[in-house]
Amino acid sequence: MTRRPLVAGNWKMNGLRGSLAEIKAMDAAYDDALRGRAELIVCPPATLIALARDIAAGGGIGLGGQDCHAAPSGAHTGDISAEMLKDAGASYVIVGHSERRSDHGETDADVQAKAAAALRAGLTPIICVGETRAEREAGEALSVVGAQIDGSLPADAPRHIVVAYEPVWAIGTGLTPTVDDVAEMHAFARERIEARLGGGKSADIRILYGGSVKPSNARELMSVPNVDGALVGGASLSAKDFIGIANAYR
Ligand code: PGA
């Protein structure tokens, strides 16, 4: 098994130029020992990617976008293409985050088109899936996530794509699923990814856990079988907390 753990920070709609100091501090703390153990990226607002690239140019912490349009360019006021993110210095892009799905009505088909756009542009998509609280309480968590995997992953996706399981009810709430529930979902997700893509690709695809990951719970969550890293929201705004989470792999 060759999956290199990935710890990805999602700044969401937070961060001004002054916040670049946090990326600088993250990059400085991402030393050789940690690099040997895990890959670290941060996904700041698109306005900061090119500036962050100048800080993190030394092959240290990587950069990603938080969304992209499916088209490479065109009359889509306010949108940003995967090619633009790549040009600004990103190597990843988050697609299908639950906040995009709920705030902007993105469907699985939209997410799949965005993931394909990312691959077209040479970016690695981080494709997000996850059930709501009502769906979990109704016993539908696995079926909902399974359907999202079927609908959101391009059928010909390569083995370097990343999938993030983020239960909607755990995002920004301080709540996390039990270790057993995470283990069940990640094992199920890997099987479902294999059913979708075939060719043994799922053995190489990293499946991140996201939702209220903190320095205090990172080690426990990251040691669950089939958890290959974390997608971190709130705690990624602070270099101290983000590195504290990544240190689970040190
Ligand atoms: P959180 O967000 O870590 O603040 O819960 C996770 C996410 O939305 O990616």
Any idea where the domains of the chain sit in the sequence? Answer: 6-249
**Closest alpha carbon to 49 in 64, 69, 60:** 64
Cβ-proximal residues to 102 (8 Å cutoff; 6+ apart), any chain: 168
pLDDT of residue 249: 97
What are the pLDDT tens digits along the chain (250 aa)?
Answer: 589 999 999 999 999 999 999 999 999 999 999 999 999 999 999 999 999 999 887 769 999 999 999 999 999 999 999 999 999 999 999 999 999 999 999 999 999 999 999 999 999 999 999 999 999 999 999 999 999 999 999 999 999 999 999 999 999 999 999 999 999 999 999 999 999 999 999 999 999 999 999 999 999 999 999 999 999 999 999 999 999 999 999 9
For the domain spanning 6-249, the CATH number is 3.20.20.70
Rounded distance, CA 10 to CA 18, Å?
17
* Mutational test site, ligand 1, from 103, 126, 232, 245, max ligand atoms within 8 Å of CB: 232
Q: What is the DSSP letter of 67?
A: -
Q: Which residues line ligand 1 (CB under 6 A)?
A: 10, 166, 171-172, 210-213, 231-235
Catalytic positions, please? 97, 166
Q: Looking at ligand 1, which atom is closest to the CA of residue 171?
A: 5
